[in-house]
Amino acid sequence: MSELYPWPGEYKMGDPDSPVAVVTLADKFDFDEEKVAIWGPMKTENLGIEKVIANVLSNPNIRFILICGDEIRGHRSGQTLKALIKNGIQDNGKIREADGAVPYIENLSNEAIERFREQVQVKDLLGIKSKEDINEAVEEALAEDPSSFGEPYTAVKIEEKEESVFEADFALHSSLKISPWGKISKMEER
Amino acid sequence: MFSYTREQKTYELDDIKVGGQPGEFPTLMFGTIFYEGQFEDRTEAEEKGPELIRRQNKFSSKTSVSSLTDVFIFEKEEVEWKIDLALEHTEGFFSVDVPEAEVRMKVLDYLEEKNALDRVIYNSLNLGVTEKEIEKLKNKPPAGAILLGYNPQNNGTQGRMDIIKEGGKLMEEGLLPLAEEIGIEYKFLDTAATPFGEKAGETLRAVPVFKDEFGLPVGCALHNTVESWSWLNEYEKKEDIFQTLDTSIDNLPVLMGADFIYYGPIENASPALPNMAMVDKLIAEGAEDYFGIKIDEKHPHHLL
């Protein structure tokens, strides 16, 4: 695996050799550190999913994503994650057949998304909160004992550079002006 | 303490005036009711909700800071009773805050049935709008809408503006031309609060940029940035720390020139409204003294 899971988030880490990651959606559950590689809630159907993808890709030992707990109302991030793995994304980044409010992946490359879709299988326990049922699903995944997916993959966040596209100044003080972008300069420089 | 050379549109929502130059009118404060976890069930919501609306109204009257109720609706099954409650216990305008397109469409149907489309601010018209929803909006346009500048592809100020203006690379047209096509009269531009680590500061920078570019009322819901701040996870949402931070963060966009604020849970009407009265008063004094702005007569500047 990569030296570190690359993206920050609200998660806990267990055994990096485990093939199981658990997304608990609106709930907060704890797991046996010897059985699960990483687990935590996932709130949003865009940035939240991106963080899960980046963290899972950094560890090729993870081959299952177990989705459990209550769905995030309004965001539908659990359904959206399942839709992403099943259907992928459109050219504009929109996740196909997702019910989430704003289901877009914009900060990861297509290569990263396709690798994620190939690396993991979904264990669908959406809406299930019973720890017994969830732990049973973890055990089933462990029993399948899949091999590693190969080399770790580091998902680089794509960022667009910001450029000012118009100029307009307004006064902050008789001797100062400030552009709408926040640049302060002396008035005589107009 | 800004003043814009560009003319700034003012809306009159019954007796509420919003927009204009910084300091000219009190900030319009939206308090949200029926958010996740607020009430145990519908019975409790119907019992306690009206009192919270009355309490917000009371603090508006005391402070002369205007306010409207923002009604959060998650599921189709909640549409009728939540809107019925809003219609019965609010006067004039209210906002409907609905994340899912399918639910928003049902809201439009029910508002039409109740002959109440002219009382509603649709929260929000955003990137997630569907073709079916646009068709329905054209047939049943609400009086107002929040145009959300959220752009997952580029959450800098330019990206947020692109979504409003021409759709960025994600939509065929911008939310503003779309709102005009639909026939929405009151267009409120939301700079789209993002979490810390996701260019949260651009939510503020976008305020003067939007005001200068579009000349329309601008605002945001920065309490969402507070609530997504992970170090606060150890605290319960009902603890004082959230109320304090939710309230204080609202001062920043208003100082940058914002006209409206979604301040979060309606329980926070106090301190949120008295706090904003103080901020509005200070900004109004600066605007009057320095820029010669005529401050509206219904403003804490004159009344408190």
Which of A24, A105, A157, A170 to probe the B interface (max B CBs under 10 A)?
Answer: A170
pLDDT tens-digit map of A79-137: 999 999 999 999 889 999 998 888 999 889 999 999 999 999 999 999 999 999 999 99
Q: Give the pLDDT confidence score for residue B257 in this predicted structure.
A: 93
Q: What pLDDT is attached to residue A166? A: 47
pLDDT of residue A171: 55
Average pLDDT over residues A29-58: 93
Residue A190: pLDDT band by 50, 70, 90 thresholds? very low
Q: Taking the domains of chain A in order of start, what are their residue ranges?
A: 12-144
- Tell me the three state secondary structure of residue B263: strand
B198-202 contacts at long range (C-beta below 8 A, 24 or more positions apart):
B198/A47, B198/B155, B199/B155, B199/B156, B200/B225, B202/B155, B202/B156, B202/B157, B202/B160
ipTM over 0.90: no
**B212 contacts A180? CB cut-off 8 A:** yes
How far is the alpha carbon of A65 from chain B, nearest alpha carbon, in Å? 23
- Tell me which residue of B5, B205, B156, B279 sits closest to A177, measured CA to CA: B5
Contacts of B189 in chain A (CB under 8 A): none
Over range A131-150, report the average pLDDT: 94
Question: According to the model, what pLDDT value does residue A9 have?
Answer: 78
Mean pLDDT of A46-57: 92
Chain B: residues touching A (Cβ < 8 Å): 1-6, 36, 74-75, 98-102, 126-128, 150, 152-154, 156-159, 169-170, 195, 197-198, 205, 208-209, 211-213, 228, 230, 233
Whole-number Å distance between alpha carbons of B158 and B166 = 11
Per-residue pLDDT band at A2 (split at 50, 70, 90): very low
Residues 48-77 of A with CB under 8 A from B: 73-76
What tokens appear for B217 in the block? Answer: 């009322």
Where do the domains of chain B lie, and which CATH numbers do they carry? 10-297 (3.20.20.20)
Q: Tell me the whole-structure pTM to 2 decimals.
A: 0.88
**Tens of pLDDT, residue by residue, chain B (304 residues):** 678 888 999 999 999 999 999 999 999 999 999 999 899 999 999 999 999 999 999 999 999 999 999 999 999 999 999 999 999 999 999 999 999 999 999 999 999 999 999 999 999 999 999 999 999 999 999 999 999 999 988 889 999 999 999 999 899 999 999 999 999 999 999 999 999 989 999 999 999 999 989 999 999 999 999 999 988 988 988 889 999 999 999 999 999 999 999 999 999 999 999 999 999 999 999 999 888 899 999 999 999 9
A47 and B195 within 8 Å at the Cβ level: the answer is yes
Pick from A93, A100, A163: CB nearest B158: A163
Mean pLDDT, chain A, whole residue set: 85
Min Cα–Cα distance to chain A from B59, Å: 30
Pick from A10, A73, A178: which is nearest to B36 by CB?
Answer: A73
A12-144: CATH class: alpha beta
| Chain A residues touching residue B74 (CB < 8 angstroms) | 73-74
In A, which residues are within 8 Å of B75 by CB distance? 73
Q: A133 to chain B nearest CA, in Å?
A: 25
CB distance A172–B100 less than 8 Å? no
Alpha carbons B39 and B47: distance in angstroms, whole number: 10
